[in-house]
Amino acid sequence: MIAKNLPHKTVERLSQYRRSLLLILSNEKTHVFSHEIAQMLHITPVQVRRDLMLIGYSGNLRKGYDIKELIEMIGNIIDTEKGQKVAVIGLGNLGKAFISYFKGKRTKLTMVAAFDINPDKIDRIYDGVPCYHIDRISEIMKKENINIGIITVPADQAPGIAERLVLAGAKGILNYSPKPLNVSPYVYLEEYDMITSLEKVAFFAKKNDERSK
């Protein structure tokens, strides 16, 4: 199957294409060219065409890609039919921000639980999401059929949380803590560090600064 062999970067860009397409979707605009998508995402039209060819989508040369059709096609690749359930572990600043930001954004991914150790947060509902004690992670994940976990606990707690997530049946983990993790090859792990993004921007800002002198 095409979808199984997609490069990780292509999957990342498909999500970005869908986000951009949803933004430009309007009654007046029904079609979009690869160069328009490329311009929005600061990549080349060749890259866009290559990614879309990988998912078996080719547009109309004269009219471009049908926006609605493409959004649906990307959805068929990225999402599952029934959708997937997500839990946040660590309902602090970042965990709460994630839940609020995510609310209502995607129909196929639902945030259904948060876990914490702080008694002030447990058995409360935050933005529609109930918070449970971390010791109930296995029980709740199995009961709610949660297969994705987002780690937003302090760094020293992250490896133990990753282990508990895997034992509870997680198939995907997004790690926001600065602690790099090791998990079974059957669990997809994505690690995101804001400082890395900022340092990348700072590096290119420095280069642009030097160029303009």
Contact footprint for ligand NAD (CB under 6 A)? 89-95, 115-118, 134, 152-155, 157, 161, 176-178, 192-194
Q: Which residue is nearest to ligand NAD (CB)?
A: 92
Cα 29 to chain centroid, rounded = 27
Q: Which amino acid is at 112?
A: V
Query: Closest distance between ligand NAD and the C-beta of residue 129, in Å?
Result: 13
What CA–CA distance (Å, rounded) separates 103 from 35?
31
DSSP string, 130-172: EEEEGGGHHHHHHHHTEEEEEE-S-GGGHHHHHHHHHHTT-SE
> Cβ closer to ligand NAD: 48 or 161?
161
What CA–CA distance (Å, rounded) separates 33 from 91?
42
> Cβ closer to ligand NAD: 32 or 99?
99
Query: Closest distance between ligand NAD and the C-beta of residue 101, in Å?
Result: 13
Query: Closest distance between ligand NAD and the C-beta of residue 131, in Å?
Result: 9
Beta bridge partners of 172: 148, 188
> Cβ closer to ligand NAD: 64 or 95?
95
Query: Closest distance between ligand NAD and the C-beta of residue 130, in Å?
Result: 14
> Cβ closer to ligand NAD: 52 or 89?
89
> Cβ closer to ligand NAD: 59 or 95?
95
Q: Which amino acid is at 159?
A: P
**Alpha helical stretches, state H, the chain:** 8-24, 34-41, 45-54, 67-78, 93-102, 137-144, 158-167, 194-211
